[in-house]
Amino acid sequence: MTTPSKAATIADVAARAGVSVPTVSRVLTGAARVTPEKRERVEQAIVELSFRPSAAARVLASRKAQVIAVIAGDTSRYGYAETIRGIEEGARAEGYTVMITVVESPDEDEIDRAIAATLSQPLAGVAVLKFDPPGVAALQRVPDDLPLVVLSGVRDTSLPQAVLDETRAAEELTDYLLGLGHATVHHVRIPPSRKEDGRTTGWRRALRRAGAPIPEPLDATWEPKSGQALGAVLAADEGVTAVFCGNDEIAMGVISGLTRAGRRVPEDVSVVGFDDHPLAEMWTPPLTTVDQDFAGMGRRGFELLLAEIRGEPGKQFSSERPRLIVRESAGRVGGA
Amino acid sequence: MTTPSKAATIADVAARAGVSVPTVSRVLTGAARVTPEKRERVEQAIVELSFRPSAAARVLASRKAQVIAVIAGDTSRYGYAETIRGIEEGARAEGYTVMITVVESPDEDEIDRAIAATLSQPLAGVAVLKFDPPGVAALQRVPDDLPLVVLSGVRDTSLPQAVLDETRAAEELTDYLLGLGHATVHHVRIPPSRKEDGRTTGWRRALRRAGAPIPEPLDATWEPKSGQALGAVLAADEGVTAVFCGNDEIAMGVISGLTRAGRRVPEDVSVVGFDDHPLAEMWTPPLTTVDQDFAGMGRRGFELLLAEIRGEPGKQFSSERPRLIVRESAGRVGGA
DNA sequence: ATGAAAGCGCTAACAT
DNA sequence: ATGTTAGCGCTTTCAT
């Protein structure tokens, strides 16, 4: 019937339902009791006018936002995507909406602009994926009057933080390789978030404890292709019998490079990854790796954030230990 | 010096700079000229008070939002993630922030709630990834008073839409296989967004045109593992010499299943994928596939949306044709 | 160029 | 239980 040229406001609804504006607000928020009959009329008016309350006005008046901002350096890599998914699931269950801000640029100014744009939004809280340098840079720019949670692989701040203890996992994985008889384990690392990632630290620690030589790590980018190039490099070195890669995608690249250079995996060289990517078990050979419950970390991170938002004391920290997944890409030295 | 217990408002800034509130607003928006001297004082006050304007208030007063909502059924799959990245890049360059809403649940009510929560935000526009049923369901719920763009694989609405013409690409890919001497091409499809995806339509069309028999398609889920199971099924059928998979990840699974069942790829069976996933060329054997510029589609989609937001006439539609990437997972029948 | 006044659409505090 | 009155923090007239 009616064809409203402008979107309906709460006043329109009130007029149509024959009640006052606050009464409409009451049925909207459910904050106070309203006579069933009036409630009925209001609800009908809302439908008839296809009224959608303005979040801007609500936030302004109530000083309560319903949006969680997630700041990440990337969104497409497996670990990032899963972590975000976990946060999003937790948030959705509690009625929060997630806004994602990507800060991939190394340009400081651009980071500043992206963060500023995000922070000017009415936000209930912020979650920062501290997986890489952009994440670290972003973290420094979050004002401390905002509920915040950090998600990462190492406990390294005094802020509320959810971690997946990659240092311990890397140590375990390296120990496993050493236990297979390898004299040492080479390491291809992914771009570190800080001076050194937990993955690299754990590897180094295991080697040192075992008294094994510590080879210089090779640096990959996030692209599987860079792993392939490094695989070719590793293939040229006869002394390489075991390689620990920073993540599964790089491991796949390394295996590809190694194989194309004529080295067999795992007969000649053992290769392990990290994360348990969905394709890891599909690979030839199936990848020995470490299962990381990124989505779980995301959910736990959101819980921490929620506690803060609500001002509940709650715990400030949540850590979980990934577990080793033994498949076929690593074996005994000499291919036994 | 000052330790403001509350966040600074524009009034605080005005007071500190010794100007009126509207003047501060003017330097904030850059809408009107302000004396250099006053501008200077205002900017200094902003820094000193670490003032961040409230987006809620701005939106309310100006009726202009700076947030683009992206509604997607998933965020971690390659195509989705890349598309979102493209939108986000375009948006960021124009000063917009992107909010992502995931609607993965089949539950209608949950979709409604998620969409409602998003749409109540102050939004400049909405981009819907119409890649799957949740995306389709979400699209139906977007009110038409909001700038909207649809991103998908087939032109199928009268709304502004950016597409990657997968029908043509699938046809081309199937023709390629047929040209290799295969009597027909089997098809493993990913969950379709509608009755039938463009990928399946293109495959069917090529087969029909060539007068080749049209086998019943097999249905995979989004998990590579489901492809693996289907690979085992296909391995049992001697008549299968060529398989077209709905995406690369499923193709990897299919190859894995085929290989484990003792069939060689491409000697016994040719397998092709779709999307040119970063791992496609790393696979054993390297995957023949079709390159899809998802990020490009995302950027083009944002441009369409921007034109709408600005009320510019502009084009309503953008289509691009993916290109065939020939690698080694497909060969002549009989393995020649 | 700048300030005073008037809202934007909603919720909160206070009456009744 | 419901209406009245005040704002929330900005931008936008409209004067000057």
Q: What is the dihedral of CA A187, A191, A194, A195, to 10 degrees?
A: 50
Q: Is the CB of A55 under 7 A from strand C?
A: no
Domain membership flag for residue B87? yes
pLDDT of residue A6: 66
Domain end among B61, B84, B102? B61
* pLDDT at residue B271, as a whole number: 98
CATH number of B33's domain: 1.10.260.40
CA distance B277 to chain A (A): 11
Q: How many separate domains does chain B show?
A: 3
Do A233 and A259 have their domain in common?
yes
Q: pLDDT tier at A264 (50, 70, 90 boundaries)?
A: very high
Residues B175-207 have pLDDT tens digits of: 999 999 999 999 999 999 888 999 999 999 999
Q: Do B158 and B275 reside in the same domain of the chain?
A: no
User: What is the number of CB-based contacts under 8 A between chain A and chain B?
Assistant: 143
Same domain, A176 and A239: yes
**Spans of chain B below 50 pLDDT:** 1-4
Q: What is the pLDDT of residues A28-74, one digit of tens each?
A: 988 788 999 999 999 999 999 999 999 899 999 988 888 999 999 88
Residue that finishes a domain, picked among B61, B76, B101: B61
Helices (H) and strands (E) in chain A, counts: 12, 12
Q: Which of residues A40, A61, A82 is at a domain's end?
A: A61
SS3 A287: coil
Domain identity same for A156 and A195: no
Whether the CB of A47 is less than 7 Å away from nucleic strand C comes out as no
Tens digits of per-residue pLDDT, B261-315? 999 999 999 999 999 999 999 998 999 999 999 999 999 999 999 999 988 877 8
Q: Is A334 helix (H, G, I), strand (E, B) or coil?
A: helix
- Alpha helices (H) in chain A, listed in sequence order: 10-17, 21-29, 36-48, 55-62, 78-93, 108-119, 133-140, 166-179, 198-210, 224-235, 248-260, 294-309
What does residue A128 show for φ and ψ, rounded to 5 degrees? -110, 125
- Does residue B123 sit within a domain? yes
The per-residue pLDDT for range A1-36, each reduced to its tens digit, is 334 446 899 999 999 999 999 999 999 988 788 999
Q: Is residue B3 part of a domain?
A: no
Calculate mean pLDDT across residues A293-312: 94
Domain assignment of residue B310, yes or no: yes
| Within a domain: B126 | yes
Q: Are residues B129 and B223 in the same domain?
A: no
Which pLDDT score is estimated for A7?
81
One domain for residues A190 and A261: yes
pLDDT beyond 50 at A269? yes
**Quick one: closest CA in B to A96, which residue?**
B117
Between CA B21 and C1' C5 the distance (Å) reads 12
User: For the residues A254-266, what does the mean pLDDT come to?
Assistant: 96
CATH of the domain at A116: 3.40.50.2300
Do B184 and B329 reside in the same domain of the chain?
Answer: yes
- Assess if residue B2 is contained within a domain: no
Do B117 and B245 lie in one domain? The reply is no
Q: DSSP 3-state assignment of B152?
A: strand
In a shared domain, residues A214 and A331 = yes
Helices (H), chain B: 10-17, 21-29, 36-48, 55-62, 78-93, 108-119, 133-141, 166-179, 198-210, 224-235, 248-260, 294-309
One domain, residues B136 and B274: no
CB of B121 within 7 Å of some strand C atom: no
Give the distance, in angstroms, between residue B224 CA and nucleotide C6 C1'. 61
* pLDDT for position A300: 97
Query: Higher pLDDT residue, A328 or B335?
Result: A328
At position A329, the amino acid (one-letter code) is: S
pLDDT at A335: 67
Q: Structure pTM? A: 0.88
Examine residue A74 and state whether it is found in any structural domain, yes or no: yes
Quote the domain boundaries for residue A210. 166-292+324-335
Give pLDDT, residue B4. Answer: 42
Contact yes or no for B298/B85 (Cβ under 8 A):
yes
Q: Residue A115 pLDDT > 90, yes or no?
A: no
Same domain for B206 and B329: yes
Identify whether A224 is part of a domain: yes
Residues A171 and A279 occupy one common structural domain:
yes
Confidence of residue A247 (pLDDT cuts 50, 70, 90): very high
The whole-angstrom separation of Cα B226 and Cα B229 is 5
